[in-house]
């Protein structure tokens, strides 16, 4: 996830969001932005105007806001397709700011995982998922065609762009610090700390909230 602004806006760093109209998706995506604002001692209630962002980039393209949220694999391309050149944009990277949060995890209940052969079931599910991601890495065009059969709305060029960018996130470059499907403890702690600060969770998350056991078992299954 990124926050985009036009260079002509004068925005260079998150500190420059002060006094601006800043769009973001609410319902969970806003917390990385809020953590970034807090890092720069900006009060979202007083120092800028937060705007509810629809799931398109029209507010930014029409310059109704000074900055807007975008995923590298989707909305960023929508902006480029709107006639904007990469060199015309300022990109605020929450990873570089140390305020990014984990997304798209696989969750289950701890009591379920301890019951019967459920841990093996979870490991087989994870292994199958990772095989799917590996297929989309090695057979990207076929993967795009499969998606288009189910949902042709975005079209082949955009889906192909998304496949390329998603593969970068899963496999690199740059290569992730941890293998696909395995929790990065540092990223977990950062995410949990931000979630606690902004009331997503009510008490600090412990490392026992995640396990490497399922991932490790998935590597050994035949």
pLDDT in tens, 73-95: 999 999 999 999 999 999 999 99
Asked whether residue 103 is assigned to any structural domain, the reply reads: no
Q: What is the mean pLDDT of the chain?
A: 96
**52-59 mean pLDDT:** 96
Q: Quote the CA–CA distance of 140 and 194 in Å, as a whole number.
A: 34
Residue 133 lies in domain: 110-183+210-220
pLDDT for the residue numbered 151: 95
Q: Which two three-digit tokens encode residue 57?
A: 């980039």
pTM for the complete prediction?
A: 0.93
pLDDT for the residue numbered 222: 79
Query: CA separation (Å) from 8 to 4, 87, 108?
Result: 12, 11, 46
Asked whether residue 198 is assigned to any structural domain, the reply reads: no
Q: Quote the CA–CA distance of 222 and 218 in Å, as a whole number.
A: 9
User: Is 91 in the same domain as 162?
Assistant: no
User: Is 49 in the same domain as 137?
Assistant: no
Counting residues of the chain whose pLDDT is more than 70, the rounded percentage is 100
**16-38 mean pLDDT:** 97
Counting residues of the chain whose pLDDT is more than 90, the rounded percentage is 97
Task: Place 4 in a pLDDT band, splitting at 50, 70 and 90.
Answer: very high
User: Is 118 in the same domain as 214?
Assistant: yes
Q: Which two three-digit tokens encode residue 124?
A: 């087989």
User: Is 131 in the same domain as 215?
Assistant: yes
Query: Tell me, what DSSP letter sits at residue 16?
Result: G
**91-109 mean pLDDT:** 95
User: Is 53 in the same domain as 114?
Assistant: no
**178-206 mean pLDDT:** 96
Are the beta carbons of 218 and 130 closer than 8 angstroms?
yes
User: Is 137 in the same domain as 39?
Assistant: no
pLDDT for the residue numbered 170: 95
């Amino acid at each position: 996830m990124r926050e985009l602004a036009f260079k002509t806006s004068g925005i260079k760093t998150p500190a420059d969001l002060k006094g601006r109209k800043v769009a973001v998706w609410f319902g969970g995506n806003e917390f990385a932005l809020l953590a970034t604002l807090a890092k720069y001692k900006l009060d979202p209630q007083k120092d800028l105007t937060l705007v509810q962002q629809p799931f398109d980039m029209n507010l930014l393209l029409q310059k109704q806001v000074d900055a807007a949220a975008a995923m590298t694999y989707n909305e960023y391309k929508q902006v480029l397709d709107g006639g904007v050149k990469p060199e015309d944009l300022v990109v605020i990277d929450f990873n570089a700011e140390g305020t990014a949060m984990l997304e798209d995890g696989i969750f289950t209940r701890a009591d379920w995982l301890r019951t019967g052969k459920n841990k093996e079931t979870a490991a087989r599910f994870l292994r199958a998922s990772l095989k799917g991601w590996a297929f989309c890495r090695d057979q990207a065009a076929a993967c795009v065609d499969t998606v288009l059969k189910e949902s042709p709305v975005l079209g082949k060029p955009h889906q192909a762009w998304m496949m390329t960018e998603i593969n970068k996130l899963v496999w690199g470059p740059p290569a992730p610090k941890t293998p696909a499907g395995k929790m990065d403890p540092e990223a977990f702690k950062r995410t949990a700390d931000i979630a606690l600060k902004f009331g997503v969770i009510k008490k600090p998350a412990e490392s026992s909230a995640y396990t490497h056991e399922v991932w490790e078992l998935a590597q050994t299954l035949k």
